[in-house]
Amino acid sequence: MVSEDWASLFGMQEPVENAQAWLDGYYGQARRDTYLSAHCDVVLHSVDSAFYEIFAAQAELDACRRHLEAHAIRYESVRLADCEHL
């Protein structure tokens, strides 16, 4: 049984010199969505390996969908009106 096995992968727009400082900035933001859009092209959250959330611009989301479909992997497409919790 997997418990509390959360992971986040950040597809950065450019290399980060100090990863800890970047993460401190991310977790210290009141609006993480704004912080992420300034630094990342795509963000993948894995929650207990039970489900995954992908946040990205439309072109990147379309590429993810095509990849999943090419490998017959099921997915549910959801539009979130408010992603501030990122």
Q: For the segment 27-86, what is each residue's pLDDT rounded down to a tens digit? A: 898 888 788 888 888 888 888 777 778 888 778 888 888 999 999 998 888 766 655 545
Tell me the residue range of the domain where 46 lies: 7-70
- The answer to whether residue 75 is domain-embedded is no
Tell me how many domains the chain contains.
1
* pLDDT in the model for residue 76: 84
- The answer to whether residue 83 is domain-embedded is no
- The answer to whether residue 78 is domain-embedded is no
pTM more than 0.85: no
Residue 10 pairs in a beta bridge with 43
- The answer to whether residue 34 is domain-embedded is yes
- The answer to whether residue 66 is domain-embedded is yes
